[in-house]
Amino acid sequence: MSRRYYIDDTEWLAFLHLFTTVETLHVSGRLAGQVALVLEDVPGEMVAEVLPSLHLLLLDDDGPVESTEKFVSLRQLYGRPVTIVRKEAGRFGAWHRSKGKVP
């Protein structure tokens, strides 16, 4: 059975547009899927304007998280590459501690 979130992309984009200096975005819990879906649906001409400084997207959910392949490809195409890391909730914290600092 497939599941999909019912969300308003415009609302989330207005929220994410605020953070022009964010380099690392870490989304935990059920919102990880929502954010992933919003980013995947960003049109090509806008992809460099949403979170323009973003280098790393950490998606941390114990449920299924939407694909972000299109978003990654478009960011690469527009010269703003992003690395996506997915982890289930428990293991993600352990990875952070082992790094000892913000990635």
Partner 1 sequence: MVRLVYHPCAWSTEPDGTGPGECHRHAATINVLPDDIFLEIFAFCVRDPDKHPVFCMRQWRRLVQACQRWRQIIYASPRYLDLLLYCSKGTPVRNLSYWPAFPIAISYHGPYHNDDVIALLKHPDRVRLVDLSITSSQSGRKVVATMQKPFPVLTHLELYALDVPELPVLPSGFLGGSVPCLQQLHFDHIPFPELPTLLLSARDLVSLRLNSIPPTGYISPEAMVAGLAILTRLETLCVDFEFRFPPPEQRRRYPDPPMRAALPSLTEFEFCGRSEYLEDLVARLDAPRLDDFDCRMYLNRVDCLRLPQLSLFINRTENLRFRHAQVEFSNSEANIEPDWFARAHGEPELGRPHFSFSTSFRWSDNITHVAHVLRQIFAIFSNVGYLFIHACDDHPSRRYYIDDTE
Is residue 31 at the binding interface for partner 1, with CB under 8 A as the rule?
Answer: yes
- Burial of 40 by CB count in 10 Å (0-12 exposed, 13-18 middle, 19+ buried)? middle
User: Which C-beta is closer to partner 1: that of 43 or that of 101?
Assistant: 101
Residue 97 and residue 34: Cα distance in Å, rounded? 26
Residue 27, helix vs strand vs coil = strand
Interacting stretch for partner 1, rule CB under 8 A, among 22-30, 42-50, 71-79, 80-88?
22-30
Q: Does residue number 29 form part of the binding site for partner 1 (CB under 8 A)?
A: yes
Lookup: tokens for 75: 């960011």
Residues in contact with partner 1 by CB under 8 A are 1-8, 11-12, 14-15, 18-19, 21-31, 34-35, 53, 101-102
